[in-house]
Chains A and B, each alone.
Chain A
Amino acid sequence: MPHDHHDHDHLSPSGHPYRQDNDEPLTYWQLMEISVRELMIEKGKFSAPEINQQIDLMDSRSPADGATVVARAWMDPDFKKRLLENGASAAEELDFEIGPMHLVVVENTPKIHNLIVCTLCSCYPRNLLGLPPDWYKTKEYRSRAVKEPRTVLTEFGVSLPESTVVRVHDSTADMRYLVLPLRPESTAEMSEVELRKLVSRDSMIGTGVIQEI
């Protein structure tokens, strides 16, 4: 349903108001955004409702989506098997649209820890996690995650024993990656809905782990 309430009282997915950009002096690049958008509408390439729908779609995506996939994989061994074999089609079973990008799900085990990065730009599993955090797009993360992943993990508060193998995945082409984090042993009695709440964004990028409760 089309609507156009994208003004400054609209709340972001994190529940905060959008930055108050509407009242600040117009920048050159904002001027360009308005102009390009209006030209595209005038040329009949996009419609205004279509642009708003696209924003709503992106806003509707958040790490809760990834967490739903992870919790199902923890509860259902057959689903987990399908997820590791073909991430996109398994996620689509839960009604998550992965689109043209393919999804590779990599599993953390007591002996293996996976970490996701895109050194060339900022490829990220947007369809399951929403827009990437700012740090994911920084020079510092992109440069260092592939060369000194253990030091990077320490900066994120994750300390691994030397015996744990670190596998870094650089999203260089058409694949997108999601980490299937290790399920804490103390959660054995928890329901799927309860488990979803434990799964953090960072645990699905690999810069976090899920602590025992």
Chain B
Amino acid sequence: MMISDGTVIKIKDTSPPGHIRTPKYIRGKIGVVERCVGVFENPEQLAYALNANSYSLYRVRFKMTDLWSDYLKDSDDTLDAEVFEHWIEEI
């Protein structure tokens, strides 16, 4: 799976226990792929000294007003976070 820049995507809304690098505040939120930054080993496996799968890592841009209901109204401010492909749902 290769997602091209500018694609509108959704972050999976799930919260399994353990070491996760997808912060809660972006889970279930809609964002836009800003760019793919390469392929990296999955931290969810590295954290437990397991052999890790390699996954594409994307910088995803969110509108602040989509993340926080009480954010400055009509603001164009954004939040970028790095998200691994297995946390991304195409919509």
Contacts and interface: CB of A to CB of B under 8 A. Distances in A.
Q: Is the A/B pair a real complex?
A: yes
Contact of B57 (A166, A169, A174): A174
B23 A173 contact: no
A175 B59 contact: yes
B68 interface: yes
Interface string B12-41: 000000000111010000000000011010
B23 A102 contact: no
Given A150-B72, A167-B77, A167-B78, A172 B37 contact: no
A120 B80 contact: no
A172 B77 contact: no
A115 B72 CA distance: 17
B77 A173 contact: no
Contacts of A172: 21-23, 81-83
B79 interface: yes
Nearest to A163: B76
A150 B75 CA distance: 11
Contacts of A168: 64, 77-80
Nearest to A165: B76
A34 to B, nearest CB: 25
Interface in B45-91: 57, 59, 64, 67-68, 71-72, 76-84
B80 A167 contact: yes
B72 A120 contact: no
Contacts of A147: 25, 67-68, 71
Interface of A: 102, 104, 119-120, 146-147, 149-150, 162, 165-175
27 contacts: A104-B37, A104-B59, A119-B25, A120-B23, A147-B25, A147-B67, A147-B71, A149-B77, A166-B64, A166-B77, A167-B77, A167-B79, A167-B80, A168-B79, A168-B80, A169-B80, A169-B81, A170-B80, A172-B21, A172-B81, A173-B40, A173-B57, A173-B84, A174-B57, A174-B82, A175-B37, A175-B57
Given A120-B21, A165-B78, A167-B77, 15 more contacts: A119-B23, A146-B25, A146-B67, A147-B67, A150-B72, A162-B72, A166-B64, A166-B77, A167-B80, A168-B78, A168-B79, A169-B79, A170-B81, A172-B21, A174-B57
Interface of B: 21-23, 25, 37-38, 40, 43, 57, 59, 64, 67-68, 71-72, 76-84
